[in-house]
Amino acid sequence: MPAELGLPAGPPGAGWPARELVGRHPGWPARLGPLVAPAGLVALRPPKLFDAAVWSRIRLRDQSYLENWEPTAPGPWDERNTPLAWLSQWWVVRASARRGQSLPFIITVDDELAGQITIGNVVRGSLCSAWIGYWVASHIVNGGVATAAAALLVDHCFTGAGLHRVEATVRPENVASRRVLAKLGFREEGLLRRYLDVAGAWRDHVCLALTVEDVPNGLAHRLVTEGRAKFD
């Protein structure tokens, strides 16, 4: 993975952080990857205003696939996922990233928009922690895209963004997402009862996490070594 924003490339390790972080939003914007997964060439880039039409088309098409796993929000799905809705979302995520509170990215496969992945609730100081969340289009599920995208972003968190811990919360029933996290080595740390309002009800979530010490050579390197991906 190349260095971004003048920060060091290479795997995280005992010297973390390798350099004092500067600026209000370390690690963002950035372009990450690519990794070659079974579905194609996976890379990450910041969201663009002109992603609206493709984003909306995928989200509207994949309602039945996505809606059961996403937090409850006001209004019907078809209103919350129009091109106009993307405009307000883009402004919100961009502002959050510029405040250093999140690292939002678009997932691309062969340069085409294929999903989103976000590091959120970034806390610095003695905690240096955040959460990760993602979705991918239904037509590339089981193509290694979410796994490769999460590997790229977690590696970036532990290097360019200077974080120490990344958490994920997932419903116990979400077998596909739990499989992604297991491939990456996320450890289960507990069950959060009625943690988040998803699909209209308060749902239990499994809490999983990684710290920089867990991946001394980086997750992308691990995937390549295991034959799950290739460097381009």
**Is residue 50 in a domain?**
yes
Q: Domain with 219 in it: what CATH number?
A: 3.40.630.30
Q: How many domains does the chain have?
A: 1
Structure tokens at 209: 């996490």
**Is residue 27 in a domain?**
no
Mean pLDDT of 93-105: 97
pLDDT of 189-224, one tens digit each?
999 999 999 999 999 999 999 999 999 999 999 999
**Is residue 16 in a domain?**
no
Per-state percent for the chain, helix, strand, coil, to nearest 5: 35, 30, 35
State CA 138 to chain mean position distance: 17
Measuring CA to CA, which residue among 116, 129, 60, 58 is closest to residue 89? 116
**Is residue 24 in a domain?**
no
The range of the structural domain enclosing residue 202 comes to 32-231
**Is residue 81 in a domain?**
yes
**Gap between the terminal Cα atoms of the chain:** 10
**Is residue 86 in a domain?**
yes
User: Tell me, what's the pLDDT at 25?
Assistant: 87
pLDDT of 216-228, one tens digit each?
999 999 999 999 9
**Is the CA virtual torsion 95, 99, 104, 105 positive or negative?**
positive
Mean pLDDT of 155-169: 97
**Is residue 134 in a domain?**
yes
**Is residue 8 in a domain?**
no
